[in-house]
Chains A and B, each alone.
Chain A
Amino acid sequence: MTEAVALLTARLGDDALVLGQRLCQWITRAPTIEEDLALSNIALDLIGHARTLFTLAGELDGTGRSEDDFAYTRSDREFGNTLLCELPNGDFAVTIARQLAYSHYAVLYYEACADTAHPELAAVAARAATEVDYHRRHADGWTVRLGLGTAQSARRMQAGLDHVWPYIAELFDEDEVVRRMEAAGAAPSPAPLRARWEERVGEVVERAGLAVPAPRWRARGGRQGLHSEAFGPLVAELQSVYRQFPGGIW
């Protein structure tokens, strides 16, 4: 059971790290200085979550691996993040749509973990939940602002939602790891949270005057380490300096 908790904890860390890495690519390119600040702040929180989760995963699985071991020494196929989190940034609307999807999910899932999970995971999740709730507010605000702003921004925001929606189902998937943990009462399954997510996000999309997309396909594979082609360059960039200096101390 502990091994399953460790696996799940590392997956949550991977989501946070990879999304944080994508947001880092925005910095100095945001539409306003305020957004450079906001996006770097969100990235900083996410990297913080990844660090805590990786450290915990290394303790739970008994390997004693450090946060950096998880981030810098694994191959692409060993990352268990969802494809949503690795989606390339696209324009600002795609990024906001991705943030909207992830942050609503993360609030719900971290809150559920805080209530029922393994005690150490619960403590980490309780803190993360309050932080991702700020990210959710940021995404909600921009979704509405872009949806009701100009014709162009509404069109782009709708296109952003359409682009991101097929990647949402994976966030709520149940697999063997999740089922084992849930059976042991160590961590909740995300699957039952989908309805609440639909309701909350639906309300924001409606307030923005936009349509909730009904995608005809769904992405899968990230949790099993089957990533998109865009993921290789992301990991290569992340690990490049670390790997150039074997034995380095940072």
Chain B
Amino acid sequence: MHVIGLDAATADPESGSPGAGDGRLDRFEALLAAGETIEPRDWMPDGYRRMLLRQIAQHAHSEIIGMQPEGAWLTRAPSLHRKSVLLAKVQDEAGHGLYLYAAAETLGVDRAELLDALHRGRQRYAATFNHAALTWADTGAVAWLTDGAAVVNQAPLCHTSYGPYGRAMRRVCQEEAFHVRQGYDLMRALCEGTPAQREMAQDAVNRWWLPAVALMFGPPDTVVPGADQGTAAFGARVSRQAIAWGIKRHTNDELRQRFVDHCVPQAERLGLTLPDPGIRWNEERGHYDFGPIDWDTYREALGDDTHIARQRLAHRIAAHEDGAWVREAAAAYAAREEAR
């Protein structure tokens, strides 16, 4: 699943390379203007490379960390059919992590360095996953809402300007769309079940709606009068640069609106209430209105220093350290085979 976390705003949008005097920048911009992809062998401005690397790495890390909240339910899935579906989903996420690390490697870093940056907290993953998956219904809500948000984010990334990223995203997108349908189907089964199942479904939606709306699309990047003008102005600068470089195709706020427009009718069909009293159809705009997100409060509640955030990273580091002897053995064996 793809996410632009709160920290995406720390990217410095003005950090593109100064125009290279030998026409390389012109060629780069001509490729973008012609709608061609940028490939690993092509020259690219440092800022472009850095923005891409940050985004792809964060996306890859989100896939790997995102396996945890759902993976913890594999042993407790309440039917063998659902257990199989969840296994396949978690497996897909591992696969997405691999495609994306491979895409990042074309920018001149290797997977070990990226994992190290994740483990040391130098690179981020989607803060969405710093929420706890407390019940079985959470696996459905995550697939329906979080993956649903990811699909809205990712569809345009299939046409992102950097070739390896776009190609990875085309494979990721197909599978994510499937996850959303499975998540919706899981929620539908709960909603058609006993009152206790229905209550579990509603409780999960109450806890996963705001994380999906807020965190899966990143900080606001449309300046409107009122709260968060500073954040929004900075977000708008980052998004403008990302759009100019063809890394992104839409602003965070456009995608957020698209997601809300998708979800409201689905929730109505399920008979679930999205926990936002501000949701109502706006005839004039042709979109659903929704309540403003209190970013400051939200940011505080979700810093790196929550117990879930600590748990996610500690779990990941423990797996990595426990497996070190296996990776060393595999490397030693490969070297031995090569020498033969």
Alpha-carbon distance A250/B136, docked complex (angstroms): 11
Check: B315 CB closer than 8 A to any chain A CB: yes
Extra 13 A-B pairs, beta carbons < 8 Å, given A152-B328, A241-B77, A245-B193: A27-B71, A28-B71, A31-B322, A35-B326, A36-B90, A43-B87, A68-B79, A152-B329, A153-B325, A245-B194, A248-B78, A249-B189, A250-B79
List chain B residues, Cβ under 8 A from A17.
80
Chain A residue at minimum C-beta to C-beta distance from B325: A152
Check: A204 CB closer than 8 A to any chain B CB: no
Check: B7 CB closer than 8 A to any chain A CB: no
Check: B327 CB closer than 8 A to any chain A CB: yes
Check: B301 CB closer than 8 A to any chain A CB: no
Chain-B contact segment, one of A57-65, A127-135, A142-150, A178-186: A142-150
Chain A residue at minimum C-beta to C-beta distance from B65: A28
Q: Which of A21, A29, A33, A34 has the most CB of B within 10 A?
A: A33
Q: Which of B75, B192, B324 meets A249, CB within 8 Å?
A: B192
List chain B residues, Cβ under 8 A from A241.
76-78, 136
User: Which residues in window 3-47 of A have CB below 8 A to B?
Assistant: 17, 21, 24-25, 27-37, 40-41, 43-44, 47
B78 touches A245 (CB 8 A): yes
B78 touches A250 (CB 8 A): yes
Check: A76 CB closer than 8 A to any chain B CB: no
Chain A 44-75: CB-based contact to B (< 8 A → 1; otherwise 0)? 10011011001000000000000110011000
Check: B177 CB closer than 8 A to any chain A CB: no
List chain A residues, Cβ under 8 A from B330.
32, 145, 149
Interface residues of A (CB under 8 A from B): 17, 21, 24-25, 27-37, 40-41, 43-44, 47-48, 50-51, 54, 67-68, 71-72, 91-92, 144-146, 148-150, 152-153, 156, 237-238, 240-242, 245-250
List chain A residues, Cβ under 8 A from B324.
31
Can you show 9 pairs from A to B with CB atoms below 8 A apart? A17-B80, A27-B67, A27-B71, A28-B90, A72-B79, A91-B322, A152-B325, A241-B77, A247-B194
Check: B266 CB closer than 8 A to any chain A CB: no
Check: B95 CB closer than 8 A to any chain A CB: yes
A47 to chain B, nearest CB (A): 5
B97 touches A33 (CB 8 A): yes
Q: Which of B95, B189, B196, B333 meets A250, CB within 8 Å?
A: B189
Alpha-carbon distance A51/B79, docked complex (angstroms): 10
B286 to chain A, nearest CB (A): 37
List chain A residues, Cβ under 8 A from B270.
none
Q: Which of A24, A33, A237 meets B94, CB within 8 Å?
A: A33
List chain B residues, Cβ under 8 A from A32.
323, 326-327, 330
B76 to chain A, nearest CB (A): 5
Chain B residue at minimum C-beta to C-beta distance from A246: B194
Alpha-carbon distance A197/B324, docked complex (angstroms): 31
Chain A residue at minimum C-beta to C-beta distance from B326: A31
List chain A residues, Cβ under 8 A from B189.
249-250
B113 to chain A, nearest CB (A): 15
Check: B68 CB closer than 8 A to any chain A CB: yes
List chain B residues, Cβ under 8 A from A246.
194
Chain B 302-340: CB-based contact to A (< 8 A → 1; otherwise 0)? 000000000000011011001111111110110010000
A238 to chain B, nearest CB (A): 6
Chain B residue at minimum C-beta to C-beta distance from A48: B84
Give 4 nearest A-B pairs by CB, closest first: A31-B323, A149-B329, A153-B329, A31-B326
Given contacts A40-B87, A47-B83, contact A153 B326 (CB under 8 A): yes
Chain B residue at minimum C-beta to C-beta distance from A25: B75
Alpha-carbon distance A71/B319, docked complex (angstroms): 29
Interface residue tally of chain B, by bracket? Answer: 35 or more
List chain A residues, Cβ under 8 A from B71.
27-28
List chain A residues, Cβ under 8 A from B326.
31-32, 35, 92, 146, 153
Check: B264 CB closer than 8 A to any chain A CB: no
Given contacts A36-B67, A51-B80, contact A150 B325 (CB under 8 A): yes
Q: Which of B75, B333, B336 meets A24, CB within 8 Å?
A: B75
A24 touches B97 (CB 8 A): no
B79 touches A28 (CB 8 A): no
User: Which residues in window 81-130 of B have CB below 8 A to A?
Assistant: 81-84, 87-88, 90-91, 94-95, 97-98, 101
B95 to chain A, nearest CB (A): 6
Alpha-carbon distance A145/B334, docked complex (angstroms): 8
Check: B197 CB closer than 8 A to any chain A CB: yes
Alpha-carbon distance A247/B78, docked complex (angstroms): 12
Check: B74 CB closer than 8 A to any chain A CB: yes
Check: B64 CB closer than 8 A to any chain A CB: yes
Q: Which of A40, A72, A152, A247 meets B91, CB within 8 Å?
A: A40
B91 touches A248 (CB 8 A): no
Chain B residue at minimum C-beta to C-beta distance from A36: B94
B80 touches A47 (CB 8 A): yes
B79 touches A242 (CB 8 A): yes
Alpha-carbon distance A152/B332, docked complex (angstroms): 11
Q: Which of A34, A71, A249 meets B193, CB within 8 Å?
A: A249
Chain A residue at minimum C-beta to C-beta distance from B97: A33
Alpha-carbon distance A50/B83, docked complex (angstroms): 12
B332 touches A149 (CB 8 A): yes
List chain A residues, Cβ under 8 A from B68.
28
Alpha-carbon distance A28/B73, docked complex (angstroms): 12
List chain A residues, Cβ under 8 A from B87.
24, 27, 40, 43-44, 47
